[in-house]
Amino acid sequence: MEKLAYIVIGGAVGVVLTVALQGANVMQHDMVTDEVDMTMSSSSINEDDICTATDMGAMHKHPPREVAAGGPIPSVSHLMFPDMMDGYNMQILPVNFDFTPADINRAAQDNEGHAHIYVNGVKVSRVYAPWFHLSTELLQAGPNEVTVTLNANDHSEWAIEGVAISSTVIVHGAPSAQ
């Protein structure tokens, strides 16, 4: 019963934080369906303002691995919470997917593995759990695309019809102090 109370309280805190962050210039975008799921800002993003992988160096890419037919289909979304000390705290919210850090570099198993984080198309980290801190050092001034992909134990990207299962959020980096 106590665990249920913690779950309910945690969910309520998540809703409050989500509502509170509506003015934080954060936008949720689901790359699998290519539809905006949640807008937390009314500001528009100019595509020319977003740094591409070409601007920042070579993009780190893994081959797609199709989700097994007939089984549960994994998906992912993520939330970005501004951190008072530095950058953002990211909550990764997978569905029908398990993080399996002990199985890294082993054979792929359906709907399990880890996540990769990309900032403006450049891989910045692997993630083995639902929370990650994204340092301001990894962001450029202005809008930044922060993408999470679901990856199998062998690092291939889980995909549906060749499209990587991923989530992208736009966050704003602080202007440089120059």
Instruction: Name every residue whose Cβ is closer than 8 Å to that of residue 108 and which is 6 or more positions away in sequence.
Output: 65, 152, 153, 154, 156
CA 33 to chain centre: 15
CA distance 151 to 157: 4
74 close to 86: Cβ distance less than 8 angstroms: no
CA distance 125 to 115: 8
- In the numeric block, the tokens 């980290």 are attached to 125
Q: What is the mean pLDDT of residues 41-65?
A: 47
| Selected residue with higher pLDDT from 173 and 80 | 80
For residue 33, pLDDT over 70 is answered with no
For residue 27, pLDDT over 80 is answered with no
Percent of the chain whose pLDDT exceeds 70: 63
99 close to 130: Cβ distance less than 8 angstroms: yes
| Selected residue with higher pLDDT from 56 and 112 | 112
Q: pLDDT tier at 175 (50, 70, 90 boundaries)?
A: low
Q: What are the sequence ranges of the domains in the chain?
A: 24-173
Burial of residue 74 (CB within 10 Å: 0-12, 13-18, 19+) is buried
- In the prediction, which pLDDT does 35 show? 30
Burial of residue 127 (CB within 10 Å: 0-12, 13-18, 19+) is buried
CA distance 134 to 131: 10
